[in-house]
Amino acid sequence: MAPVSIRRSDGDSVTLDGSAVESLKADLRGSLLLPGEDGYEKSRTVWNAMIDRRPALVVHCAGVNDIKQAVDFARTHGLLTSVKGGGHNIAGSAVCDGGLLIDLSGMRSVRIDPGAHVAHVEPGATLGDFDAEAQAFGLATPLGINSTTGVAGLVLGGGFGWFSRKHGMTIDNLLAVDVITADGRFVRANGRENADLFWALRGGGGNFGIVTRFEFQLHPLGPGVLTGLVVYPLKEAASALKQYRQFAKEQSDETTVWAVLRKAPPLPFLPPEVHGTEVIVFALFHAGDTEAGRKAVEPVRHFGKALGEFIGVQPYRSWQQAFDPLLTPGARNYWKSHNFADLSDGAIETTIKYVGNLPSPHCEIFFGQIGGATMRPAADSAAYPHRNAMYVCNVHGRWDTPAEDRKGMEWARGFFRDTAPHATGGVYVNFLTDDESDRVKAAYGPNFHRLAEIKKKYDPQNLFRINQNIRPAV
Ligand SMILES: Cc1cc2nc3c(=O)[nH]c(=O)nc-3n(C[C@H](O)[C@H](O)[C@H](O)COP(=O)(O)OP(=O)(O)OC[C@H]3O[C@@H](n4cnc5c(N)ncnc54)[C@H](O)[C@@H]3O)c2cc1C
C-alpha cells in the first residue's frame, strides 16, 4: 500500500508508512477506506450539507475489535480523529478534515429483552432501527423526532422526544454502556462500575471514549398513540402562544405539545391556498389512554380559528417518522438554540416578527416542550444539567444553496440575539453549531468543571476532540 499523508491532532501532518496502514487493514473485520474507494463518500457525508470534510482514512467498523484497533492506531500515531454514529450532528462533528474517521454507522443491531424491558443497542443504530425493534414488543424509550437520527449522538448529548415529559430525557433511561477509552481499554460503565464515566457520558457527548453498546430501559407504549397537528394562521400566533404557555403549566406529563412556526407544508388537511403561508402548528402527542388524550388536547383545538387539523390514533412508529419529509439529508442547515423556562410576551413577539421574515421556505422556529419528568432529577445527577428547561427552542435555518447562507445565518443569529434576554442562558449541546465552541460552558453550566476533571482521567491527551470539546482539566 502507498504511504498515507494524514493530519495529527497537533495540527502537523505525518506520512504513514504503507505497511502500518496495511497492518491496520489486516486486523479489521470491517473495511479501511481511502479517498476514491467504494464507500468513502458515504462515510464522509453527514446530514448537514454545509459540512464538506475529507478524512485521509476511514475505518468502517464491523465490531468492537475494529473500534479498538482504530483507537489504538489513532493514539499511537497522534491522529486527528472523529467518530461517526448516525452523522446527524448539526456541527458535523462526526467527520474531520484530513484525519481519521472512525465510522460506526454499519453497526446497527438493536436487541430487545422483552422480559426485562431492556434494549441493547449498537452505536450506528438510528432512532428508526430502535423503534422498529422495540415496538415489535410494544415497548419504547424517549428518543427524538426524526427517525434517521443516530441513537448514539442523541443520547450522549441528553436526548429528548415525544414522551420525555413522562419518562425523562433519553439519558434518564440509559442503564449502562460499554466503552473503548482513549487508552484502548474496554470499560463497562453504569451507576456502580466506573460511575464517574457513566455520569459524564450522560450528556457529555463524545468526549470520553467510544461507546460500543448502549443499554436502555424500555416502557410500554402503543402501538397506537393519539397524535395530531392543529394549524393556525400567523396572525393568531400571539394569542395562541399565550394560551399555549398557560396550557403547558396545567397539562399532565402524558401530554406533549410542540409549537412550530413556519410556512405551511402541503398537508392534505389544509386548503391549498394555505400552503406556503406562515402558520403556527401545534404538534400533539399523548402517551397514555387515547380517550383521555383526546380530552387532554382539546384546549389546543380552541386557541383560535384553526385553518385545519388532523388528530387521531396512529402507530407510534409512523408518528416517529412523520417529520422526516421536512428533515431530509442534503440541505444546508444552520441552527441557533436557547432553552426557555417559560415563554415571555417578549419572546413571543420576537418569534412572530422573525417568522414574518423567513429567509427561505424551509426555515422554522420551534418550541419543543419538555418539562415534566425531565425536570425532576437534580442538575448534577448527570452531565446534562438543564433540569429547569420547559422548552428547547431551535431556530432551524434551512435552505438549498450556498448563495443563501449569509442571509439565512444572519436571520438565525438575529433571532437568537433578540430572544436571549428571555431565555435561561442554557443550551442543549446537541443543537450547537460548529461556530459555537464558546457556548460549551453554557451547555454544561455547573457541571463543566467536573467534566473537565473526568476528561483528564479518561482522555488526558484529548484524543476525542472533534466534538463540542471539553478540554482536560490542567
Ligand atoms: C433532523 C434532526 C432532528 C433532531 N431531533 C432531535 C430531537 O428530537 N431530540 C434530540 O434530543 N435531538 C435531536 N437532534 C439532535 C441530535 O440528537 C444530534 O444531532 C445527535 O448528535 C445526533 O446523533 P448522531 O449519532 O446521528 O450524530 P453524529 O453526527 O454521528 O455524532 C454526534 C457526536 O457524537 C459523537 N459520537 C457518535 N457516536 C458515538 C459513540 N458511539 N461514542 C462516542 N461518541 C460518539 C460524534 O463523535 C459526534 O461528536 C436532531 C438532529 C437532527 C439533524
Q: What is the pLDDT along the chain (474 residues), one digit of tens a residue?
A: 899 999 999 999 999 999 999 999 999 999 999 999 999 999 999 999 999 999 999 999 999 999 999 999 999 999 999 999 999 999 999 999 999 999 999 999 999 999 999 999 999 999 999 999 999 999 999 999 999 999 999 999 999 999 999 999 999 999 999 999 999 999 999 999 999 999 999 999 999 999 999 999 999 999 999 999 999 999 999 999 999 999 999 999 999 999 999 999 999 999 999 999 999 999 999 999 999 999 999 999 999 999 999 999 999 999 999 999 999 999 999 999 999 999 999 999 999 999 999 999 999 999 999 999 999 999 999 999 999 999 999 999 999 999 999 999 999 999 999 999 999 999 999 999 999 999 999 999 999 999 999 999 999 999 999 999 999 999
Residue 337 cell numbers, joined: 438554540
Q: Which residue has the CA at smallest separation from atom 33 of ligand 1? A: 153
Q: How far is the CA of 151 from the centre of ligand 1 (A)?
A: 7
Q: Which residue has the CA at smallest separation from atom 31 of ligand 1? A: 153
Residue 126 cell numbers, joined: 438510528
Handedness of CA 147, 152, 158, 163 (dihedral sign): positive
Residue 158 cell numbers, joined: 441528553
Best residue among 197, 391, 430 to mutate for probing ligand 1's pocket (most ligand atoms within 8 Å of CB) is 430
Contacts of 249 (CB under 8 A, 6+ apart): none
Atom of ligand 1 nearest to the CA of 146: 3
Integer-rounded Cα Rg, in Å, for the chain is 22
Handedness of CA 221, 226, 227, 232 (dihedral sign): negative
φ, ψ of residue 244 to 5 degrees: the values are: -60, -45
Q: How far is CA 201 from CA 134, 175, 188, in A?
A: 23, 12, 12
For the chain, the straight-line distance linking the first and the last C-alpha, in angstroms and rounded, comes to 40
Q: Which residue has the CA at smallest separation from atom 17 of ligand 1? A: 154
**Stated pTM of the model:** 0.97
φ, ψ of residue 167 to 5 degrees: the values are: -120, 10
Atom of ligand 1 nearest to the CA of 151: 25
Report d(CA 355, CA 364) in Å as an integer.
7
Q: How far is the CA of 20 from the centre of ligand 1 (A)?
A: 32
Residue ranges around ligand 1 (CB below 6 Å): 46-47, 82-90, 93-94, 104, 123, 144-146, 149-150, 152-154, 156-157, 159-161, 205-206, 210-211, 327, 430, 467
Query: What's residue 1's pLDDT?
Result: 85
Atom of ligand 1 nearest to the CA of 169: 11
According to DSSP, the β-strands at 100-103 and 57-60 are: parallel
According to DSSP, the β-strands at 364-369 and 255-263 are: antiparallel
Q: How far is CA 354 from CA 42, 136, 262, 292, 395, in A?
A: 36, 42, 10, 36, 10
Best residue among 44, 66, 83 to mutate for probing ligand 1's pocket (most ligand atoms within 8 Å of CB) is 83
φ, ψ of residue 447 to 5 degrees: the values are: -90, -5
Cβ of 125: how many Cβ atoms within 10 Å? Answer: 24
372 DSSP 8-state letter? G
CB 192 within 8 A of CB 252: no
